A and B are shown apart, each in its own frame.
Chain A
Amino acid sequence: MKSLFDKLWDAHVVVQQTADKPAILYIDLHLVHEVTSPQAFDVLRERGLTVRRPDRTLATMDHSIPTVPISSLSELDVVSETAAAYQIRQVMKNCSDFGIELKDFTSPDRGIVHVIGPELGATQPGKTIVCGDSHTSTHGAFGALAFGIGTTEVAHVLATQCMLQRKPKSFAINLNGTLQRGVSAKDIVLRIIGEIGVAGGTGYAVEYRGSAIGALSMDERMTICNMSIEAGARAGMMAPDDTTFEYLAGREMAPKGAAWDAAVARWRELPGDPDAAFDREINLDVSVMKPMVTFGTNPGMVVAIDEPIPAPSGNDKAFAKALEYMQVEPGQRLAGTPVDVVFIGSCTNARLSDLEAAASIVKGRQVADNVRMLVVPGSQRIKNEAEAMGLDDIFKAAGAEWREPGCSMCIAMNGDTVAAGRLAVSTSNRNFEGRQGSGARTVLASPLTAAASAISGTVADPRQLVD
């Protein structure tokens, strides 16, 4: 009796693990970006190694890239810090030296690494996927086994297309019920992290199952798998189904014709056996969930928007430090707290449906005077599609900034930052101290909640604004 995870694992073992040695696991797709790869390419150079499978490697530039329009390296130099511009040049040189396809800042395919993999159809069910980036778990939404890895492992995969790994334990999170209006996939995953804690998934590969998953779009499934790492999980995944296949059909790197039919037939075999065993299992009912907002400095410090911030248990120094940093108190409700910045973006929530959700709230309304609202599409294609639908006009008319794609304020490496002490409601995935800029305070929320907060000028419950 095998789970989805067992099947994915077993199909990629090159050499089985033993008591003495981890397994050698084959990697089908390696995604590369500018921040975690330069030192790995240096290792290859030092040892005279080549990239084993450039055809299974795909690179982009997303973290340190500016979100103002640039069309040349000389324009990049004007808008970027020297180190960031150098890093962009390095990834261009490395990809060219080692024969890797790079979606650079002039490419119509460019965007956040975890957005473009699925969008191009490179992310497929049954694959093992790695990237030097913890949110690689996103790709698990397609029934892939996707791990975030460090730079040493990036070098391993470049050189050998393999990594050393011991099989993690398995964790089933069963989600049933129907979401209420104004509540979204982001709220589900924040609720899960609140439930199991930021270390609750440590050592596990998580499989999300249940009727609620079947009802979600691929965009929504990716939002949930994306944040698996915020619960400490090694990977997050969902069984592929017709929704998955419909999403992939016709995409550039997806199989075509007879190869497509054969692939779908294989993919239909991937879902786990009904009686597959897991090391841990929990059940949650999504129909009672509400919009969620974080109040502290990790994604597990989260409450429903209309509920009070809890009191710390015992002498929890980190909890007290977090509340002090966020300038909030136990018993307080976040709704109504003044907001300085609203960021709609990141690999968690910058896909087309996220932008549509935010636009549905913003349409015909104005961003509050005290708020700077930044909308950063996850990819160039999403930007183009959104513009074709007129979403950019809705945002701009409301007073929001409409930017070029990239990670932007999610990680604040490219010049898009939140100033010290300012409060940002963000659709990204991390509210760590200083994540959006030194001293910046971050409230994580769904696109609906973020957009509602931009309009109201305070942290706001979107359920009053959705029709």
Chain B
Amino acid sequence: MEPIKSITSKTVVIPLDDIDTDQIIPARFLTTTTREGLGEHLFTDWRYTKDGTPNPDFVLNAPEAQDAQILVAGRNFGCGSSREHAPWALLDFGLRVAISTEIADIFFNNALKNGFIPVVVDADTHAWLLENPGVEITVDLESSTVIVPGRDPVPFSVDSFAKYCLLNGLDQMGFLTQHADDIAAFEARAE
């Protein structure tokens, strides 16, 4: 994985609460056996009308959303299934951060493991971000703050180990395999 220090981008806002993983990537696209190409189907039922043409009312189809890397969503983003296809689809589309007041657990973990940064901010900052779509902000991983124009930096919490892995471009498999002796000792004790 590429190391990630900070991401600066304008935001795209989907103000709905409880956006579930079935909306992010519907189950009918889960027959894939690879990680690639899922961006095409991101939010498919909201992005396309019944006849397959882009829905002009959906924010991700707006020209100004095309190179946004930061998604601001309503509370409880990513609830529902454990499908890692959700962060894969977001990343493949070009998004790299989701900001909300609450982010569902399994999605949160899956996201971090793929270099997609879930950011939980306070209600006041969240409300401001919802009201100011398209504003350019910086999500700075190193200081764990969101830098918003004209406001104090907003701290967010990210697990120190996940942060270390992201900053250094490490994945966690290497860390686990290094503990093979501890695992063998545990098995010897337990069995």
Contact = CB atoms under 8 A, between A and B. Distances in A.
Interface of A: 14-15, 19-22, 24, 26, 35-36, 38-39, 42-43, 47, 49, 52, 63-64, 81, 83-84, 86-87, 90, 132-134, 136, 148-153, 155-156, 159-162, 164, 166, 168, 198-199, 202-203, 229, 232, 234, 298, 300, 316-318, 321, 411-413, 420, 430, 432-435, 438-439
Contacts of A198: 18, 76, 79
Question: Interface residues of B toward A: which range?
Answer: 35 or more
A49 B174 CA distance: 11
Contact of B79 (A63, A164, A232): A232
A225 B79 CA distance: 17
Contact of A412 (B28, B102, B105, B180): B28
Given A134-B81, A435-B22, A164 B105 contact: no
Contacts of A150: 82-84, 106, 109-110, 113
B135 to A, nearest CB: 20
**SS of A interface (majority):** loop
Most interface-central of A49, A87, A136, A202 (chain B CB within 10 A): A202
B138 interface: no
B59 to A, nearest CB: 13
Interface string B150-191: 000000000111001000000111011101101100110010
Contacts of A413: 27-28, 30-31
Contacts of A81: 31
B75 interface: yes
5 contacts: A21-B160, A63-B30, A86-B31, A412-B27, A433-B23
A15 B80 CA distance: 30
Given A199-B104, A434-B26, A84 B161 contact: no
B47 to A, nearest CB: 12
Most interface-central of B18, B50, B102, B173 (chain A CB within 10 A): B18
Most interface-central of A83, A136, A199 (chain B CB within 10 A): A199
B173 A47 contact: yes
B26 A232 contact: no
B32 A83 contact: yes
Given A150-B84, A318-B18, A430-B80, A87 B33 contact: yes
Contacts of A132: 82
Contacts of B33: 38-39, 86-87, 90
A46 to B, nearest CB: 10
Given A150-B83, A412-B28, 7 more contacts: A39-B33, A150-B110, A150-B113, A159-B173, A202-B102, A318-B16, A433-B23
B182 A134 contact: no
A35 B30 contact: yes
Contacts of A22: 159, 161
A254 B110 CA distance: 33
Contacts of A156: 172-173, 176
Contacts of B176: 24, 156, 159-160, 162, 164
Pairs of residues from A and B, 10 with the lowest C-beta to C-beta distance, nearest first: A150-B110, A83-B31, A38-B33, A150-B84, A199-B76, A432-B22, A151-B84, A152-B113, A148-B82, A318-B17
A164 B22 contact: no
A433 B105 contact: no
Contacts of A15: 179, 182
Nearest to A165: B109
A255 B114 CA distance: 39
Nearest to B45: A434
Nearest to A435: B22
Given A134-B80, A413-B28, A164 B175 contact: yes
B15 interface: yes
Nearest to A15: B182
B149 to A, nearest CB: 25
B34 interface: yes
B74 A318 contact: yes
